[in-house]
Amino acid sequence: MDSNNGKTSEPLKLALLGYSRKDFDHITQLVNLIDLGRPLKLSVGDLSKMHKVDCDLAIAILDNISNLDTYNKHVSLVKQESSNPPIVCAAREADRQILESYRIGVKTDHIIFMPIQIERLAAMIRRFGSGASGDGGRYDAAPPDATRTVIAPSPLRLGELFLKKGLITKDDLERALEHQKQNNMYIGDALIDLGIINEDQKLKCLAEQLKTAVAAPRQYASVDLNVVALIPEHTARRFNCIAIERHGNELVVATTDVLNLNMLDTLRDMTDMRITAILGKKDDIATSINRCYNDIASHKDASRLTEDMDDRVEYVKRKEKENDNEEEAAVAGAELGIIKLVNILITNAIRDHASDIHIEPMENELAVRYRIDGDMRKVMSPPKQSHHAIVARIKILSDLNIAERRLPQDGRMAVKIGQREVDVRVSTLPTIFGEKAVLRILDKEAFEKNTASLGLTQSDERIFRSQIAKPYGLVIVAGPTGSGKSTTLYSALQAVKNVAKNIITAEDPVEFHMEGINQVNVNTKTGLTFSVALRSILRQDPDVVLIGEIRDGETADIAIKMALTGHLVFSTLHTNDAASAIARFTDIGIPPLLLGSALNLVAAQRLVRKICPKCKIEYKPPAELIESLGLDPEKVTQFYKGSGCVTCNGTGFAGRTAIFEMLQVTKNIRKLIIKNAPTTEIQEAAAAENMKTLRQAGVELAVNGTTTIEQVLAATVEI
Ligand SMILES: [Zn+2]
């Protein structure tokens, strides 16, 4: 199949020359384990006697550096009397420093140090051992012949291994070999290039062939930054490798090329540790390098802060006895280290798509946590002494009173990151251990979502768009806190916004500034309640009004009246499902007749986490579960979940999507509302009109693999 074939299936002749039996055993054992992809014939002999050897490569063991002159003499003799084969010196680790730093002349083509790692030995043999087939070791099969002395176990070339596993056909292999020759690449990469196998398959086979492991996603996710930092960033980037584990003096490094001698040498010299290279996916390694070294930089800044703070602590403490240290805090808040730290906290939060940053004073430490996709994650603990300064810096940025530490405060700031400006809403709260600050990052992109990207199904979107396009009436989005109601309403405003319309909002507080819309901050403390604001808004001749939330009868009453007098009104309500929203209105005193006439649509919604597409796997759930969900076990046989990878930081999830329950107020439903029918009756009528419940909508997403069934069950309650 390949002209090269004949040559490369010839055994590689390796001579092992030395003075001591023990060293022979060490190397012989390793040679036995090496899978070169071609037969290997090993002959062993005494360096002092066996000068004439027939070999492609000789390893000459230097067991005692004081013996160097004799050693050099013997090596020269081997070179002279044999056909000048490349000779690799295997020296003792203990002699490394003398050999390297004093550049003592040792007759050799290359030095390796004992104990030798198998990968390094294999790579070295590949590099020096084969003039006939420079890169032949990588493929084509031919099991080894029986040979004299010691022989490596029957090696299968990678290409053959793919064949044997039924991953490729003979035809594929031939095509790949051709491709490999033309592009000078590894056979595995050629197969990937041609789309015959994927990277996972390649790594699995390669690991089998090289007898090494493949780094698991959770190894990257749980990596200790102190271990990563053992390799300087530029080196990690140069070789696309990352240190992921440390066991005593052994450093486990994930890399795409475990046979890269240059890398292994560089890392060993740099860390002074034994390097074990394991295989990793190219993207996984690159992503981890970006994330980890970025985090390392942040931590460095935080720890530098500790050093800076040490002097200050005493100073502040002495002064605290005299008066409050607000000036100190203000000065500290303007301190360079603190400014940098606060910047890092915010930029990292945006990078990780966090929605909130929590800066929490505990009894003995300061904790910084991010909320990402609804879950809290601790990211850093800056020195406790920096607490006042960090909070002061945040207060300065958001125009809050630094001196006031006993009352809660609210403010906002705009942070510019590169070209991007991000709004951050700040709230402080005095706790027993000091002021806690929460920074909510207002993701403009999230609010600029159009109705199409909310996660609505096609039919739901049609309903939603038709209802918000009506000239008047009330549209309610229902759900608990954090269910994405505001995003939905903002996208509705985006959809109806045009210059011919006067759109006014009353919000507590305004979450996001929108172009071309008049937004009013409701502030109960100053007496500007929803009902007060709405009465003024009515006199402002609005077309569309967004009311942040309906909490009381008074607000509800105005909302209904607005809707009945030719305004389109959007608002939210805290109820679990769509039909309960109707009962809530009557509970707070709205006459059913008015409600029935005003209401256009109630959309109940929840957020569920989406499965990370990079590590999505399917599994077979028990049939009882499928049946209990009202699904046909014949048709639905699998659900999906994320197994955890580098992209999703091991969580198995990436981002969130909404599920909806759209209760359209049709003629029939309107009648039921007006006659004050019980919630269950309205639900049944809606179901008869094909309304999908939240649970049903969620199960659909679980079946099509967008989310997990656990997410759906947790987010939706079936009554
Ligand atoms: Zn993942």
Tens of pLDDT, residues 567-578? 999 999 999 999
Distance 673 CA to ligand 1 centre (A): 46
Q: What is the pLDDT of residues 300-319, one digit of tens each?
A: 666 555 454 443 333 333 33
CB-based contacts of 695, cutoff 8 Å, min separation 6: 712, 716, 717, 718
Distance between CA atoms of residues 425 and 103, nearest Å? 63
CA–chain centroid gap for 249, Å, is 29
- Are 216 and 648 contacting, i.e. CB atoms less than 8 angstroms apart? no
- Give the pLDDT of residue 537: 93
- Give the pLDDT of residue 142: 30
Distance 114 CA to ligand 1 centre (A): 40
Q: Which of 217-231, 417-431, 437-451 is predicted with the least confidence, judged by mean pLDDT?
A: 437-451
- Cα 294 to Cα 289, 291, 342, 441, distances in angstroms: 8, 5, 15, 20
Distance 220 CA to ligand 1 centre (A): 12
Distance 649 CA to ligand 1 centre (A): 7
Task: Name the more confident of 373 and 387.
Answer: 387
- The 3-state DSSP class for residue 242 equals strand
Band of residue 343 on the pLDDT scale cut at 50, 70, 90 = confident
pLDDT at 377 over 90: no
Q: What average pLDDT is seen over the chain? A: 82
Distance 30 CA to ligand 1 centre (A): 37
Distance 191 CA to ligand 1 centre (A): 25
Distance 292 CA to ligand 1 centre (A): 17
Q: Which of 115-129, 168-182, 547-561 is predicted with the least confidence, judged by mean pLDDT?
A: 115-129
Prediction pTM value: 0.59
| Cis preceding-peptide flag for 509 (omega within 30 of 0) | yes
Distance 192 CA to ligand 1 centre (A): 21
pLDDT at 104 over 60: no
Distance between CA atoms of residues 403 and 409, nearest Å? 11
pLDDT at 552 over 60: yes
Distance between CA atoms of residues 605 and 435, nearest Å? 34
pLDDT at 477 over 50: yes
**Helices 336-351 and 387-397, interaxial angle, to 10°?**
70
Q: Which helix (H) or strand (E) holds 247?
A: strand 241-247
Average of per-residue pLDDT across 28-51: 81
Distance between CA atoms of residues 293 and 679, nearest Å? 55
- Are 33 and 62 contacting, i.e. CB atoms less than 8 angstroms apart? no
Distance 201 CA to ligand 1 centre (A): 18
pLDDT at 330 over 80: no
Distance 625 CA to ligand 1 centre (A): 25
Band of residue 445 on the pLDDT scale cut at 50, 70, 90 = low
Instruction: Tell me the DSSP string of 597-646.
Output: HHEEEEEEEEEEEEEPTTSEEEE---HHHHHHTT--TTT---EEEE---T
Q: Which of 5-9, 30-34, 359-363, 630-634 is predicted with the least confidence, judged by mean pLDDT?
A: 5-9
Task: Name the more confident of 623 and 707.
Answer: 707
Distance 707 CA to ligand 1 centre (A): 13
Task: Name the more confident of 28 and 561.
Answer: 561
Distance between CA atoms of residues 477 and 460, nearest Å? 13
Distance 558 CA to ligand 1 centre (A): 47
Distance 648 CA to ligand 1 centre (A): 4
Distance 635 CA to ligand 1 centre (A): 27
Backbone angles phi, psi at 148, to 5 degrees: -70, -75
Distance 614 CA to ligand 1 centre (A): 5
Q: What is the pLDDT of residues 108-161, one digit of tens each?
A: 777 888 888 887 888 888 877 755 333 333 222 233 322 222 223 334 577 788
Query: Each residue of 502-529: b (16+ CB within 10 Å) or e?
Result: ebbbbbbebbbebeebebbebeeeeebb
Distance 279 CA to ligand 1 centre (A): 18
Distance between CA atoms of residues 554 and 35, nearest Å? 80
Q: Which helix (H) or strand (E) holds 68?
A: helix 68-81
Distance 291 CA to ligand 1 centre (A): 15
Average of per-residue pLDDT across 333-358: 81
Distance 360 CA to ligand 1 centre (A): 29
Distance 287 CA to ligand 1 centre (A): 12
- Give the pLDDT of residue 130: 59
Distance 617 CA to ligand 1 centre (A): 10
Distance 615 CA to ligand 1 centre (A): 4
Q: What is the pLDDT of residues 47-98, one digit of tens each?
A: 888 778 888 889 999 887 777 788 888 888 888 888 888 888 888 877 776 6
Distance 421 CA to ligand 1 centre (A): 29
Distance 653 CA to ligand 1 centre (A): 6
CB-based contacts of 481, cutoff 8 Å, min separation 6: 574
- Give the pLDDT of residue 148: 22
Tokens of residue 200, six digits: 């996972």
Per cent of the chain over pLDDT 90 is: 33
Torsion of CA 386, 391, 394, 398, to 10 degrees: -160
Per cent of the chain over pLDDT 70 is: 86
- Give the pLDDT of residue 258: 82
Band of residue 44 on the pLDDT scale cut at 50, 70, 90 = confident
CB-based neighbours (< 5 A) of ligand 1, an ion? 612, 614-615, 642, 645, 647-648
